[in-house]
Amino acid sequence: MEETLENLRDITLPAAVSWWPPAPGWWLLAVLLIIVIAFCINELKKRYLRISILLLAQKERDKIVASYNKNKDSTVLMSQLSILLKRYALLCFPEKNVAGLNGEPWQKFIMDQGPDTVNSRKISKLFTTSPYKKVEAIDTEIIITYFNHWLEHTHTNSQYKFLHHKR
């Protein structure tokens, strides 16, 4: 019996488990994490772009209103606001072919995309015709307020298709 005891060796521990390569579950988790991070970064970029476009339009509007407050020329005010409205719409709605809209279709677009107010039809008509003819006496405060509401309304309701639009 002593012979068999002498043949016994000491207990040897197995080699330590290596941390590399990780188990398949960790690889899957890493891939999913990368996908989620990429998605979040993309959404943050879109949000930043939407907000920056709105802020630029508001800054341009403020310049136009400041110029109007100096000169008190409602024709220039309406013309410049109309041009800014078209530029903003071109960015936010490329799929609607805004560049080709004028007259009644442009007026309908302004009314459809903007807030529904009592004066929507009259104001959208002014935005449609003001770049081409002298504007009669108008209440510029109502026009500027409608323009502000239109920007905010389209900003919150627009899907900003230009973010997905292929150029």
Non-local (6+) Cβ contacts of 164 within 8 A are: none
Q: Where exactly are the structural domains of the chain?
A: 23-163
21-58 confidence digits (pLDDT tens): 899 999 999 999 999 999 999 999 988 988 999 999 99
| pLDDT-derived band at 160, boundaries 50, 70, 90 | low
pTM over 0.75: no
- 45 — alpha (psi -120 to 50), left (phi > 0) or beta? alpha
Q: Whole-number mean pLDDT of the chain?
A: 86
Range of weakest confidence among 11-20, 76-85, 143-152? 11-20
The pLDDT assigned to 123 comes to: 87
87-108 confidence digits (pLDDT tens): 999 988 877 888 888 889 999 9
> Rounded to whole angstroms, how far apart are CA atoms 94 and 106?
14
